[in-house]
Structure 1
Amino acid sequence: MQSKGGTVSHQQQMGATIRAARCARRMTQAQLGHSCGYSASAISRIENGVLRPGDQPLRLIARTLNLPLDVVRSPRPDTLAADVTAAQEDAMLRRQLLAAGMAAAGVSVLPSTSAAATPHDASARIVGALYEPEASAPTSLQELGRSLATARTHFTAARYRALGESLPSLLGTAQATRDELSGRPREDAHAHVSRAWVLATELALKSHSDVAWPAADRALAAAQASGHPVVHGEAARVLAITMRRAGRPSAAVDLLRRTADSLERDGDQVSRAVAATLLMTAAYTAACDRRRSDAVDLMTDAADTVRRLPGAEAGPRTPLFTVDATSTQVDLYWIGVHTALGTPDEAIAHAARISPGRLPTVERQARFGTDCARMWHHLGDHRRTFAALRFTERVAPEEVRRPALQALTADLLYAPVSIPGARELAARTGVTS
């Protein structure tokens, strides 16, 4: 994102401003483009500083993003050092946007030197792994499996910075190992490569980064080469989430349904457990598309599949790679489904049945806090929204710095009632100082 002279150009600043605001509003490039007559690829070129929008489209972009036109047209002309990364530039510009939106409340923003870890910072490392992979020496499948298990532990513990730091080396080693093997060992290495890219996609999705697309594509390609149906299901799940985020929910639901049907026909317990997670993801995707009947039917099918699994109440005998299939997980997904459908009151009973300690990982506990925060936010209960965000912060400090949760925290600053501790939470999580 740097000009030939080593500084960020005005056009690049404008593009980064638009991208930061779009991500903060959880919009896809396709959705923003639809509002102003551009394609998703054109929005991508605008955000990368390659294409300059005309005056009328720029007005429509500003209106869609609920930003003053002058903030988009004339972002603050800070000169950035040549070694500043794209992720740091985006973080700086997001703070500028927050400054414009919160000036009336007398809130100051974090200085650009803040070094707090965020999923966005960590996901930026995936770009290098995609296009300039580390030169790595192959290793044994056993050692590769141990490295992958460590990376998975970082994800499930919501240690996104550590995961982002480990992924480039893991992906380089996994791909080098695969390239040295043949036959069945090569297929096993393909499975390890796929799961490493699944983690990379999950990390990118946490920050609503567009790099999730190529990462998910790499995961699926490696999964197909592995010939392992469970690994294929894991890759299909993250690809479908990426499709949903890109404004293609119907295609995502179709992919998840087909893959789940194939896994259930396999008959293996682990395959059926993965199929249940795909059905839950499909249900949430359909809910986001406001397809109530499909969402309810898919969740019902998922719940039935989980009930038929041994040990679904106490926990699966064979933990899955990212999301497990248990009755508690079903309740967790129901919260998100009902909230997305606009019936958050129906989610309360499911939330009440969940003991966060029974969720198997910190990442899932944080998801519970996140979904409850959204549920209470939709119900207009600001104090319980704050309590859910505080719970998320306690169990997973990096999770609460995600753009979506920062937006919820920012909303609390404008709540019609005073929320003790809201401003302090906003400062701790990078929303304000």
Structure 2
Amino acid sequence: MPSAEPVASRDELVQALLPGFVPAGTAAPLDTAVPRRRVGEARRLFHTCDYTALEHMLPGLIADLRQAAHDARATDAFSPLLATAYQTATSLLLKQHDQGTAWLAVGRAMAEAERSGDPLILASSVRAQDHVLAREKHTEQAVALVRRTADQLTGSYDRRSPEYLAAVGLLLLRGATAAGGGGNRAAAEEFLSEAKEVARYVSLDRPDAWATFGPTNAALHEVSARVALGDVGLALQAAHLLMRRRIPVPERRAALWLEVARAYSRQGRLAEGHRALCVAETCAAQDVRRPAVRDLVAEMAARDRRRTLPGLHRLSRRLGVPA
């Protein structure tokens, strides 16, 4: 019997996101140092794909930040932290295929980002909003949103901080993903080209809060865009080059192998696709258990009508989607 804990955690997260009241948190510190560390830990849990722990952590974190922001309402010191917490909640909810609650979370992220007045926090919140738009198939709006926002931030990269470069680069990569998903090849190519230009000014792929932007992640998004556009052969060529690189973030390593699995599946190469899924599971087991991947596994297993790949069917049963 499935545990009731995930449902309870989801309910607590929804409660923490609801407007109209300040939830009772466990603490309301006016110093931002401890909350900043907690927000960093939430981001770490996301990047390591520990979604269960993150779902347990977020309600209390958001409640405490809202209380602290309420107590310090004369300043906007907590708005950047709240915006980042809401962005993280949005990313988690999208992983869980809960678009309805993701809209609530991203609306709060945008409000706090605007309150903060920080263009980098705003760019990150726009990126989260764009992700929700693209997931709901509003790809034209998603592409236009990234274009408008990026046009206000791009340029003079040699004088920008790593945080600035990461915010702009990740926004451009989100635009490439949205364009690729909508079949807009020209926009996808343009966003990828711009993101690669930004990545030239990033010295390495760092395992910290801004880790998910750099040359490697730009290349990984190119793989994703190629798969979405149907350029499966080109996607696999790019992926094979990435397999030789060190990818420090588990969520990004899993993303690579999941795109490889999708590409192989598109080509009808189910055995290779199954092997890629197994590698992804070793990178981040919880990421393979999210709904989008379970759908992919179910579809692949259903196509193996003669059951020539027993390992694929074992995986589908383990994920609760037997063919």
- Asked whether the two chains share a fold, i.e. TM above 0.5, the reply is yes
- Give me the whole-angstrom Cα distance separating, in 2, the residues matched to 1:122 and 1:400: 20
TM-superposed deviation, 1:261: 2.3
- Give me the whole-angstrom Cα distance separating, in 1, the residues matched to 2:139 and 2:146: 10
TM-superposed deviation, 1:189: 0.7
Matched residue, 2:192: 299
Q: Bigger CA drift: 272-281 or 329-338?
A: 272-281
Matched residue, 1:411: 299
- Is 1:247 aligned with 2:137? yes
Aligned equivalent of 1:167, options 33, 40, 58: 58
Matched residue, 1:37: none
SS of residue in 1 equivalent to 2:302 = coil
Where do 1:145-160 residues align within 5 Å? 145-160=36-51
Aligned equivalent of 2:181, options 279, 283, 288: 288
Matched residue, 1:193: 82
TM-superposed deviation, 1:218: 0.4
- Is 1:423 aligned with 2:313? yes
Q: Deviations for 1:184-208, whole angstroms, at most 9, x for unmatched residues?
A: xx32310000000011000111022
- Give me the whole-angstrom Cα distance separating, in 2, the residues matched to 1:135 and 1:405: 36
Structure 1, unpaired ranges of 5+: 1-112
- Is 1:380 aligned with 2:273? no
**1:179 alignment partner AA:** H
TM-superposed deviation, 1:117: 8.4
TM-superposed deviation, 1:121: 7.9
SS of residue in 2 equivalent to 1:188 = coil
Aligned length: 313
- Give me the whole-angstrom Cα distance separating, in 2, the residues matched to 1:126 and 1:325: 28
Matched residue, 2:103: 213
Where do 1:323-402 residues align within 5 Å? 324-355=212-243, 358-402=246-290
TM-superposed deviation, 1:320: 4.4
Alpha carbons of structure 1 residues 330 and 374: separation in structure 2 relative to 1, 3 Å: same
Alpha carbons of structure 1 residues 239 and 405: separation in structure 2 relative to 1, 3 Å: same
TM-score, scaled relative to structure 1: 0.68
The structure having more radius of gyration, on CA atoms, is: 1
Alpha carbons of structure 1 residues 171 and 256: separation in structure 2 relative to 1, 3 Å: same
Q: Are 2:260 and 2:276, in contact at CA under 8 Å, matched by a contact in 1?
A: yes
Q: Are 2:298 and 2:321, in contact at CA under 8 Å, matched by a contact in 1?
A: yes
TM-superposed deviation, 1:382: 0.4
- Give me the whole-angstrom Cα distance separating, in 2, the residues matched to 1:386 and 1:355: 16
Alpha carbons of structure 1 residues 123 and 393: separation in structure 2 relative to 1, 3 Å: farther
Alpha carbons of structure 1 residues 320 and 253: separation in structure 2 relative to 1, 3 Å: farther
- Give me the whole-angstrom Cα distance separating, in 2, the residues matched to 1:332 and 1:341: 14
TM-superposed deviation, 1:357: 6.3
Q: Deviations for 1:409-433, whole angstroms, at most 9, x for unmatched residues?
A: 1123223461131121112222249
Structure 2, unpaired ranges of 5+: none
Aligned equivalent of 1:268, options 145, 151, 160: 160
- Is 1:234 aligned with 2:121? no
Q: Are 1:259 and 1:275, in contact at CA under 8 Å, matched by a contact in 2?
A: no
- Give me the whole-angstrom Cα distance separating, in 2, the residues matched to 1:154 and 1:276: 22
Alpha carbons of structure 1 residues 356 and 257: separation in structure 2 relative to 1, 3 Å: farther
Alpha carbons of structure 1 residues 339 and 386: separation in structure 2 relative to 1, 3 Å: same
Q: Deviations for 1:374-407, whole angstroms, at most 9, x for unmatched residues?
A: 1111121101111111112112111111111111
Percent identical across equivalent pairs? 27
